[in-house]
Every structure is written in structure tokens, then in C-alpha cells.
Structure 1
Amino acid sequence: CVAQIQRYLTAFPLMKRTMRVDSHQHTHAVPAVFDALSQAVAELGVTVTHLRCPIEPLAPHRAAGSNMPPVNLAKDALITWLWRKNRGKMPAACEVPLFCGVVLSGAMDTVDWPLLDAFESLAADRGKNVQVLFHPVSVPIEQCLDPENAPFAGACASEARNREAERLRYLAETHR
């Protein structure tokens, strides 16, 4: 964690005062990883101002009638269980927005205004912002970071990512 943060700060030194923390596949939710990340942040004197909390509330999905794939519900439950072990370890004065993006992973092209409205309403009730995670635009499989890793490369080259990009364009065009 120290080496990654140092490399990042070499390119973006001003971010030492306003670091935003996230990780691929929400690995920072794993308590041992979160502890190592927290230790690295403290060691380097970094101020974390934004932290992705990958706990996704289901109420907005239910209110909007989302079709929640069972595998994604299991993934959300696991991430939530892991993340809750990090309670009380959040950096002071750090923004932790309401999160959406795991429950419809692979199906974010179904995100619609009723779902976004339900998330915005819940966020307003909690005094938070909403962070919606999309993975728009696929890449040819040979251009993936690890083309030999079939599951990873298949996800990167998935047509579903192009559908997510189309959905984002639609949402931008119909913004209320």
C-alpha cells in the first residue's frame, strides 16, 4: 500500500491533502487490506477526504423494482459483511457517499430514473451524496491488462460494458 500511494503521489503530489480511496473489486473492504491501507495512509501523512464504502442498500432497488441477480446479492452481502468489520476505522472528516453498483453489476444498463431517484431520496435522508459505479466501454480482449486471465479479460471485453456506456448517454440526454 505504501509503494502504491508513493507512486501515485509522485505523479500527483497535491493529492496528499485530498486523497480519494477506492480499490479494484472493492478489495479495500477486506479488513486486513483496509488496516494495511490505513497504516500506509498514516505513515505517509496522507489526508483521506473520500472513501468508497461499497455497502449498497437494497431499499432503492426494491422501490424501483430492480431485477437483482442472486449472484450479485451474494456478492453484496459478502462485501457488506467484510466492510462492517471496518466500522470505527474511517478517517476523520472523510466523505463516504451512498453507493450503487454491485447489486446490478453486469446489468448496469438497466439503471433507470426510478432507481436513481430512489437512491437520491435515500441519500438526501442520510445527508450524503450518491456514487454510482459504471464500467462503460469494453476493450478488445487482446488489449486487456491480463488477456490470459479469461474471467478478467472476458469482463473487460464484455459487450455489457458498451451497453452501460449507452445507458449513461441515455441518462445524460434525459437528465431531469
Structure 2
Amino acid sequence: MTPEKYVDRLLELSSQKYKLLEEILLLTRQQAATIREDELKRLEDFIASKQEKIDSIDKIDEEFNVYFQRLKHQLKIKSLDQLKDHEIGGIRDLQAIVGKVMSIIAEISKLEKANGAQAQKLLSSLGDEIKKINQGKKMNSAYNPNPVFQPPSYFIDKKK
């Protein structure tokens, strides 16, 4: 396979990854709104959808790595930056899309950290509510103890 074909395939894979990352970014933004609104069911749906996209990205990354390793071996280079020294079509496009991928990953990471902090606050408030409910149950049981089970009384007539 020629270096140009490797670069074309790497470009195609990077574009696919970028599209998936854009979808993840959108889901992450929606997830942030869902956390603020305390809608746990929708939050679970967003997380599941994001996980599917992450799994797809993992497959793309594996394929990207295979093609990139072959290209590195063929050109005897160690990194993407060293491709500049070679006159191969599509190198600039590949470097541009990789830069965009890295940028969107940084944005997603920033939003995920904020979402994590918001989710932690939500969990903390839910934990406080559960504690209050449990305390209420204890107080209720202290003031209204359950009667001890007593077997019913039976009258047995021994006269016959």
C-alpha cells in the first residue's frame, strides 16, 4: 500500500472519529442540562448513548493505529509531526483533522469535569434526603412501636 493511501485511510478514520466526537459533545451538553434538572432517567439514556459512541471510537482508534503503525514503518518515522518532511498528499489535512479531534476532546473533557461535579452535588443532595427519610422512619417507629404479635385468644368449653 502506498503512503498516500495510508494517509487517505487515516484521514477517513479521523473524520469519522471527529463526527462521533461532535455527537458526544452534543450529548455531553444535553447531559449537563439534564443534571441541572435532576432527570436521572434521561441522564442514564445519555450515558448509554455516549458509551455506544465511545465504543465506536475505540474501534476507529484501533484501526487508525494499525494503519499509522504501517505508515510509520514504511516511512521510518516516529510521530505524525515527522510526516511534514515527506511529500505526501493529504498530510496537511490529516494534521488539521487530528488537531480538531484533539481540540474537541479537550472541550468534552472540560464539560465532563463540570458534569461530574454537578452529578456529585446531586448525589450528595439525594444522600441527604435519604438520611432524612431514614431519620423520620426511626422517629416514627419510636413513637408508634409495632405491637408485639400476640396469638389470638380462644375460649375452650370443657363442659360436655
TM-score norm. by structure 2 comes to 0.28
Structure 1 or 2: more strand by fraction: 1
Structure 1 or 2: more helix by fraction: 2
Higher RCO structure, 1 or 2 (CA under 8 Å, sep 6+):
2
Report the structure number with the largest CA radius of gyration. 2
TM-score norm. by structure 1 comes to 0.26
